[in-house]
Structure 1
C-alpha cells in the first residue's frame, strides 16, 4: 500500500456539541476564539467580564466576553463493495480505496475528529462496519482490510440502508464508488444522505474509457454477472461509448451537486493534496 498524505477538509456547516475539536462551532462559551461581548445575564461567567466594555456602557450594564467554541465532527466513508469495484486497470481499484480511507482515517483522528466506515454491496457488510472512533490505530487497521476485501455483490443497494447508521448530528460523508449504478439508485442514495455534507469520490480508470482503440476486437467482462462479450470496436461505436460515459458522469454530477458536493475523481493513485483542494474549494 502506498504512503498517504494528510487530507485537509472544512465542513460546510457549523457543528454543535460539547466535544472539543478543530472546527469552528456554532455554539459560544467561555473558551476559544473571541466572538463578541454580551450582557452578563446572557453568560453569567464572572471570569470573562470585559472591564472596558462595562465601563463604556452608559446604562452601567456588565458585559462579558463570549468565545467561539472549537468542535469535533464525525467523518465517514461509505464504500461500494459490489463486484465492479474489483476492476483492475492502471491501478487496483480497492487498493486505491484503501489508500483513500487510510488518509481520511489518519487525518480525522489526528485533529480529534472521529472516523467511521460502512461497506455495502447488496446489503451493509457487517464484517467491515466500523462505528465512528477517535482511535487512529483501530481506524487505520480496519481500513487496511479494504485492499484485500472480496467484492462479489451484484449491486450496491445496501448503500440505501447506510443513512440509518448515520442518524443524529450532520456528518462529513465520503461516498466511494465507480457509480456504475442506475440513476434511480444514485438519487436514492444521495437523497438519503441529504442531512449530511456529502462528498462523492468517483473511482475511474483510463483502461475503462480513454484507452479504447478505434479498431479491433475487444473482450468485455461484466463483473456483476453479465458474462463475457467479444465486441468489434470501430470509430462509431467508440464515439457512442464516450457519449454514454459523458452522459453518465453528467447525471452523477447533477444529482451529487443537488444534495452535496460535485464528485472528486480518484484515478491511478491517491493524491491527498488534490482531494484537499477539492474539499476546500467546493
Structure 2
C-alpha cells in the first residue's frame, strides 16, 4: 500500500541561492535586514545606520564605520511534474498513481509550511491542462491539486507532453520533482532533462517490488501491456526471468547515466512513500 510517510516533512535545500525581496526559508544570494549574519562592510557600501557594528568600527585602523550585513532568506517555487502515460496505471504491491499522489501531498504540505510555492504539472502525450496548478503558497489549493493526481486517467501511449511542461517552467530556477516510471525512449528522457537543465531537478523513479520479487521462477504468467499491446500468456523460465531482471537493471543504470549531466541522481520510490528517505536523498545529493 502507498503511504504518506507518517506525516513527516520533506526537507530540501535548493542548489542555487534564490533572489527576490520576499522573505522565505532558504539562504538567498542578496543581503537583507533579516537572516543569518554574513559579514561586515564599509558604511559607504551599505549606508544603514541601524546596523552599525560598534566593535568592528573601533577595531578598524583606518577609522572607518562598519555595518553588519545579513544573508537574506528567500522562498523558492517547487513543482511536481507527473507522468500520466499508460504504464503509470500499474498496480502491484502499491498503486503507482497513489504513490505519486502521496509524494505530491507531502511536497505540498512541506513547501507551503515554510512559505514556498507548490505547483503541479501533468502530461502524457500532451500537457494535461485540467491538472495544472501554478505554484501557490495556499496550502488547501496545493493539497487539493496533489490529491487529484491519484484519480487521474492514464491512457496516453507516450510522455511527449513533458516537453510542454518544461517550456512552461521557463524563467527563474525552480525546484522540480519529475515523477515517472521512466519507461520512455532514451532520446525523450535526454530531451526532457536537457529542457529542465536550468532548474534543480530530482527524478523520482516509481517502482514496485512486485515487478522483481513477484515473478515465479517457472510457470505460466499472463502479462498485460499497459501501452496498448494487449495481454499474452508467457511461459516463465529461470533464464527468461534472469534476462528480465538484467534488462531492468540496465534500464535503471541507463537512467542514472542520463541524469548525470542535468539532474540529481534519481530517487527510487517503491511500494510506499517515505518522506524521511526522500529527505536523506535530497540532503546528500
TM-score range, shorter chain: over 0.9
Question: Is 1:83 equivalent to 2:90 in the alignment?
Answer: no
Is contact 1:73–1:113 with CA below 8 Å preserved after alignment? Answer: yes
Question: Is 1:275 equivalent to 2:253 in the alignment?
Answer: no
Question: Is 1:260 equivalent to 2:268 in the alignment?
Answer: no
Counterpart Cα distance in 2 of 1:29 and 1:114 = 21
Q: What TM-score, normalized by structure 2, do the two folds share?
A: 0.96
2:98 to 95, 98, 106: 95
Question: Is 1:8 equivalent to 2:8 in the alignment?
Answer: no
Question: Is 1:17 equivalent to 2:15 in the alignment?
Answer: no
Question: Is 1:247 equivalent to 2:245 in the alignment?
Answer: no
Cα deviation code 1:237-269 (max 9, x no counterpart): 111111111110001111112211111111111
Cα deviation code 1:14-49 (max 9, x no counterpart): 111111111111111222111100011111111111
Root-mean-square deviation (CA, aligned residues, Å) is: 1.2
Q: Give the 5 Å matches for 1:19-98.
A: 19-98=22-101
In structure 2, the residue matched to 1:177 is 180
Is contact 1:221–1:227 with CA below 8 Å preserved after alignment? Answer: yes
Is contact 1:30–1:65 with CA below 8 Å preserved after alignment? Answer: no
In structure 2, the residue matched to 1:129 is 132
Question: Is 1:187 equivalent to 2:187 in the alignment?
Answer: no
Counterpart Cα distance in 2 of 1:172 and 1:238 = 38
Counterpart Cα distance in 2 of 1:248 and 1:46 = 60
Counterpart Cα distance in 2 of 1:19 and 1:167 = 20
Q: What TM-score, normalized by structure 1, do the two folds share?
A: 0.97
1:55 positional shift: 1.9
Secondary structure of 1:157's aligned partner = coil
In structure 2, the residue matched to 1:200 is 203
Is contact 1:219–1:228 with CA below 8 Å preserved after alignment? Answer: yes
Residue ranges of structure 2 left out of the alignment (5+ in a row): none
1:110 to 96, 110, 113: 113
Counterpart Cα distance in 1 of 2:214 and 2:261 = 31
1:162 positional shift: 1.2
Counterpart Cα distance in 2 of 1:127 and 1:8 = 29
1:2 positional shift: 4.4
Q: Runs in 1 of length 4+ with deviation above 4 angstroms?
A: none
Single out whichever of 257-266 and 135-144 deviates more from structure 2: 257-266
